Chains A and B, each alone.
Chain A
Amino acid sequence: MLSAVDLAAIWLTLKLATVTTAILLIVGTPIAWWLAGTRSRFKVLIGALVALPLVLPPSVIGFYLLITLGPHGPVGQLTQWLGWGILPFTFAGLVVASALYSLPFVVQPLQQAFEAIGPRPLEVAATLRASPWDSFFTVVVPLAKPGFITAAILGFAHTVGEFGVVLMIGGNIPEKTRVVSVQIYDHVEALEYAEAHTLAGGMLLFSFLVLLALYSRKGRNAWT
């Protein structure tokens, strides 16, 4: 039913989504924490920047990434200077693009979870002489656990559902940048509808189950 190239695309997509989600949880947590607690006038600015991928078309992100990560762009110059070569057409390049593209899907649920906790539990922890790090990991993280789960699910699912940016900077290389969405597009373009149906049907089912899981959680715990 599934050919070797289709299986390779599925495996690559799962790998990309896992790596991207892990990176986004690490990078997104401090951003969300800062956004939740700050009174800085930059809060609005950073919040808007983080939300940009929600509204920008993938063609805009893909275009700027191709230029910026390319050999003449600032990031491309840096990666070449470091001896890494350039990022477009590589798995690492897709991770960078996906992390950018899925950033709001991780930061926003985390920010809402942190805001819902409020300053009170931390103040209490501080009076008990807990260090900020200590209270973050023993108080905030357990309280915000539903927010972390929502963020991880959304970040993962959104990366699996990515298409346009990958199409623009991926170069469609088997096992490196040819993810499921691109593989489906290829099948459809070549009129290979049977192959397209198998993958597209699988994608539909996967996305529906993810959202079903997410909403049944939400039903129990409200948004966070």
Chain B
Amino acid sequence: MKTQGSPLLAGLLFAATSMVGHTAEVQVAVAANFTAPMQKIAAEFEKDTGHKALLAFGATGKFYAQIKNGAPFAVFLAADEKTPATLESEGDAVPGSRFTYAIGTLVLWSAKPGFVDDQGAVLKKGEFQHLAIANPKTAPYGAEAIKVLTRLSLLDAIQPKLVTGENISQAYQFIVTGNAELGFVALSQVMFDGKLSSGSAWIVPADLHDPIRQDAVILAKGKDQPAAKALVEYIKGKKATAIIQSYGYNL
């Protein structure tokens, strides 16, 4: 389908296709670190297929609890591989629909330029009041941040300075408002088109934590929804892959 042509025509076409019922809405639970790329992908997906993806963003552990309690999501893009696997083994996801859509990178980031050095020595110096992370109990990026501090033998020293965001977006927001001088976030939150958007960052070496493989899965509620299947295929496609990589994810 061509995307050029007058917006009016495109609008009419979209309205017409909606009316004959070829398009549908699909409810998607998205790990908070994947917020920005997923918004772009959903917009392209709607343009190309007419299906509309309704996105909810949050911590992976929180979505797990919601899905176990009957949340109406059809597709789940988690921040780890464990949660989708658990859902599948517990019968809450479509068997065989799991796949890795992104491999995330953890960064130590500050909104202040020059605050974080490229070796992460700022952590050892400890000249800061607050370090923000996502809730390690529910957010995989938070759990990985704790692993990094543990492997650097800095957890005990930094523990009193830790402030915990409900999910990685809140951790980012604590840092961006300057209330926390620095914190661990996802590279995708601070990077676009291969460049750091602002501030200063240390990309945490891969040997300091486990690789953050982020898996997606079609949930039991989405089993008979063609739009859910279409979205998953779309995420695997070239266009979505390019968007995902532009935010610093590996694939």
Contacts and interface: CB of A to CB of B under 8 A. Distances in A.
A127 to B, nearest CB: 56
A85 B129 CA distance: 9
B172 interface: no
Given A173-B162, A173-B163, A72 B135 contact: no
A71 B179 contact: yes
A189 B130 contact: no
Given A85-B129, A191-B65, A171 B164 contact: yes
Given A71-B178, A189-B137, A171 B61 contact: no
A150 to B, nearest CB: 34
Contact of A186 (B129, B135, B162, B177): B135
A171 B135 contact: no
Given A89-B130, A191-B68, A70 B166 contact: no
B177 A72 contact: yes
Contacts of B162: 173
A78 to B, nearest CB: 15
Task: Bin chain B's interface residue count.
Answer: 20 to 34
Contacts of A172: 135, 163-166
B178 A189 contact: no
A173 B164 contact: yes
Contacts of A171: 130, 132, 163-165, 174, 179-180
Contacts of A86: 129, 179
Interface string A59-74: 0000000110111100
A190 interface: yes
Contact of B61 (A66, A67, A189): A189
A71 B177 CA distance: 8
Interface string A68-106: 011110000000000001101100000000000000000
Contacts of A173: 162-164
B59 interface: yes
A186 B164 CA distance: 11
Nearest to A85: B129
Nearest to A185: B166
A111 to B, nearest CB: 35
Given A85-B129, A172-B164, A173-B162, A186 B179 contact: no
A97 to B, nearest CB: 13
Interface in B38-60: 59
B221 to A, nearest CB: 19
B181 to A, nearest CB: 9
A69 B180 CA distance: 12
A12 interface: no
Interface of A: 66-67, 69-72, 85-86, 88-89, 167, 169, 171-173, 186, 188-191
16 contacts: A66-B177, A67-B177, A70-B178, A71-B179, A85-B129, A86-B129, A88-B179, A89-B180, A171-B164, A172-B164, A172-B166, A186-B137, A189-B65, A189-B138, A190-B65, A190-B137
